[in-house]
């Protein structure tokens, strides 16, 4: 895989995370490179031509489960990622590459808020919106929500997704359902895909950073 373009912003390095569907903007389509080559190489697994669709896919340009497995095993073998976080990251990568069933199997073995978050994403994309909301109820007030709200705020300004700086995962489920139902939801599909990309970026940073 060719090296990813790295930009310097305020003397900090950032790397592309999926394709920015909207072009320019502060940190849209980028996540900060943190210390440790393992995180940087994990970020490269998310550097597909486009972020995932709101639905199950599959889309072009993703890797197979057979190709992803050895790559993840080799990265985890470096010992930089805590063993408890490895299944979370594996499932997140599988979701990004449209392997929802395989990600679901992993999520079922993780009985905490992080596992419920993965469950919620998987069912939202399946789509099984009611089940997605059930799992987000089990998530509770996740530590990733404030950062998702901060990064997605300008994309969803004036909607119910971010109100007074608080992220609402249930409103996001509703917005995805509305977009899937008519293709003309209040929030354009491309914008919702960007929000979904931000969601994955924040989770990766929490689990691998």
Interval 6-62: pLDDT, tens: 433 333 344 455 655 544 344 444 444 444 589 999 999 999 999 999 999 999 999
pLDDT tens figures, 134-184: 999 999 999 999 999 999 999 999 999 999 999 999 999 999 999 998 656
31 neighbors 43 (Cβ within 8 angstroms): yes
Rounded to two decimals, what is the model's pTM? 0.84
pLDDT digits 0-9 by tens, 59-74? 999 999 999 999 999 9
- Which helix (H) or strand (E) segment holds residue 42: the answer is helix 37-44
Specify which residues 30 forms β-bridges with. Answer: 16
Please state the φ and ψ torsions of residue 181, each to the nearest 5 degrees. Answer: -70, -40
Distance in angstroms (rounded) separating the CA atoms of residues 75 and 126: 28
Q: What is the pLDDT of residues 102-137, one digit of tens each?
A: 999 999 999 999 999 999 999 999 999 999 999 999
CA distance 84 to 46: 21
For residue 195, CA distances in Å to 3, 145, 172, 177 come to 25, 12, 9, 14
């Amino acid at each position: 895989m060719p090296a990813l373009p790295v930009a310097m912003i305020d003397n900090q390095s950032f790397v592309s995370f999926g394709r920015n569907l909207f072009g320019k903007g502060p940190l849209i389509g980028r996540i900060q490179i943190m210390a440790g080559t393992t995180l940087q190489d994990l970020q490269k697994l998310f550097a597909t031509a486009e972020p995932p669709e709101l639905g199950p896919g599959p889309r072009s340009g993703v890797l197979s489960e057979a190709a992803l497995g050895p790559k993840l095993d080799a990265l985890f073998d470096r010992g930089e990622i805590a063993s408890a976080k490895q299944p979370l990251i594996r499932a997140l990568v599988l979701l990004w590459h449209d392997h929802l069933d395989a990600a679901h199997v992993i999520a079922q073995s993780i009985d905490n808020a992080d596992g419920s978050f993965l469950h919620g994403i998987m069912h939202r994309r399946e789509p099984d919106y009611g089940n997605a909301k059930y799992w987000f109820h089990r998530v509770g007030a996740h530590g990733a929500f404030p950062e998702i709200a901060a990064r997605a705020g300008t994309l969803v300004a004036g909607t119910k997704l971010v109100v007074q700086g608080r992220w609402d995962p249930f409103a996001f489920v509703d917005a995805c359902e509305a977009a899937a139902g008519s293709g003309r939801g209040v929030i354009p599909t491309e914008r919702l895909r960007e929000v979904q990309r931000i969601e994955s970026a924040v989770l990766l940073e929490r689990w691998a950073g």
